[in-house]
Structure 1
Amino acid sequence: MKAPAKNYLGAAIVVAAGCAAPCAWAADFSGSATLTSDYVFRGISQTQGDVAPQLGGKVAFDSGFYGAAWASTVDYGDAVGSDAEVDLVAGWNRTFAQRWNLDVNLTRFTYPGTRAPLNLDYNEVITTLTLDQRWWAMLGWSDNALASGERGIYVEVGAKFPITDEFRLETVAAHYDLDDAYGDSYSRAQLSAIYTLGSVDLRASGHWTTDSAKRIFPGVAGSRFEAAVTWNF
């Protein structure tokens, strides 16, 4: 039986709520709705290559604290039971020295409807440092990575390359240390072309993983293409 995820989220929500009361008048709301040909998370398909609708929302305050929720369909097979992922996020974001942005959050990955005794829910602390809104480095840490009951560390670097006002390229290189959880780790790369039409993003992405990802996640890792359309509101 997989070890249950520790509930750090409650403490984070209490902190965010403490700010929310005095800052409610300064709340900023945003969201997005996406239809993607394949929900790919860190190089691994979560839908076995099938289409996924996705919806997210975020409320942010002048203090830098924010809360967010995001949902997508998933397909882990009939034995698992769940066909949805719902992520809950409590975090803090701040721009400093005009060029740098720091984001620290606690993300709770949940999978409603999972059949007992399975427990796929887990927490991850994610820190992202961004320079000039173009270059970023991310570190994710969990003591229950992918609900394995063991530690996992995710490291990612990425960059945006504007071609025109509407068109840009994005690249990602990353490594997921899952030695404690699965006895192996893997690396991934991603190249995306994104075209923006008003509040709509059209995205085409290529994903690649090392062969070790195929051993950990057979059938859903390796090279794959993804196309998506996102409405930002």
Structure 2
Amino acid sequence: MNNKHSLICAISLLLAHPLALADTSASVSANVAASSNYFWRGITQSDDGAAVSGGLDYDSGKGFYLGAWASNVDFGDTASTSYELDLYAGFSGEFKQLSYDLGYIHYAYPDAAGDIDFGELYASVGWQYFSIKLSHLTTAQSDSSTEEDMLYLELNAAFPVFSESELSLHLGRSSGDTVMEWTGEDDSYMDYGVSLSTGGLTLGLVKTDLDADDDIKAYVSYALDFTL
């Protein structure tokens, strides 16, 4: 059984079986969002168009979590697919003043003309307002022999500002043969982001140093979270 099917089965069993939620510390939540653009590591995933997304999460209350998230996508002539389905599972917690998160995420495109799914292992450490996260490609489907590896290192910071608002800063670096395969440029690039959020509303700016996509782009999004 591959990673995608394993995660689907685990999510279905946990959410459908009442014993999975017998522990009062466990919880299930959902989220929906609408955005003027869907960016992933500084690059639009919706051909600079609007995106609607939603997700479902299970939290054991003891560190273990899993979930699913979906959004419409548009890769133009690069790939024929209309939506993305992310399945993930991990373990998070705190040690003294540090927070940590370890997990796996599978990016699936069920209606793609070919198999373009891929997966990543990730690990992050946070302290106060700052966090660092490393993601490493584990599986990728491609007919190209050059698509072998990808590493993403990101630094994030989030500060409370004004009244019930948050200012977020982001710096990321993608590297590896897969990056060159996907972007058609060098085997590495940087992406930058800044956003201001309040009450579910987010205003943000993103930029990369890719020659073909180096303009500063703005977006606005609104998200809602529900406890089920």
- Once the two structures are superposed, residues 112-148 of structure 1 have per-residue CA deviations (whole angstroms, 9 ceiling, x without a partner) of 1111xx211011001111112x211000001346856
Distance 1:204 1:81 in 2: 29
Match status 1:159 vs 2:157: yes
Q: What's the counterpart of residue 22 of structure 2?
A: 25
List runs of 5+ in structure 2 lacking aligned partners: 181-185
Distance 2:154 2:78 in 1: 32
Q: What's the counterpart of residue 224 of structure 1?
A: 217
Q: CA deviation at 1:87?
A: 0.1
Query: After TM superposition, where is structure 1 displaced by more than 4 Å over at least 4 residues in a row?
Result: 8-18, 20-23, 145-148
Q: Give 1:120-135 correspondences, 5 Å limit.
A: 120-132=116-128, 134-135=129-130
- Supply the AA of the counterpart residue of 1:119: D
Q: What's the counterpart of residue 50 of structure 2?
A: 51
Q: What's the counterpart of residue 203 of structure 1?
A: 202
Provide the aligned length of Structure 1 versus Structure 2: 213
184, 189, 204: which one pairs with 1:186?
A: 189
- Once the two structures are superposed, residues 22-45 of structure 1 have per-residue CA deviations (whole angstroms, 9 ceiling, x without a partner) of 763232112211000000011000
C-alpha contact 1:150 1:181 (8 A) present in aligned 2: no
- Bigger mean CA deviation after superposition, 77-86 or 187-196: 77-86
Structure 1 residues 222 and 105, CA gap change in structure 2 (3 angstroms): farther
Q: CA deviation at 1:93?
A: 1.1
Q: CA deviation at 1:178?
A: 2.7
- Supply the AA of the counterpart residue of 2:102: V
Match status 1:76 vs 2:81: no
Q: What's the counterpart of residue 137 of structure 1?
A: 132
Higher relative contact order (CA 8 A, sep 6+): 1
- Supply the AA of the counterpart residue of 2:171: A
C-alpha contact 2:29 2:56 (8 A) present in aligned 1: yes
Q: What's the counterpart of residue 92 of structure 1?
A: 91
- Supply the AA of the counterpart residue of 2:130: W
Identity %: 25
Which TM-score applies when normalising by structure 1? Answer: 0.81
CA RMSD of aligned residues (A): 2.7
For 1:87, what is the secondary structure of its paired residue? strand
Q: What's the counterpart of residue 183 of structure 2?
A: none
For 1:31, what is the secondary structure of its paired residue? strand
Q: CA deviation at 1:227?
A: 0.5
List runs of 5+ in structure 1 lacking aligned partners: 1-5, 215-219
Distance 1:177 1:210 in 2: 13
Distance 2:8 2:62 in 1: 15
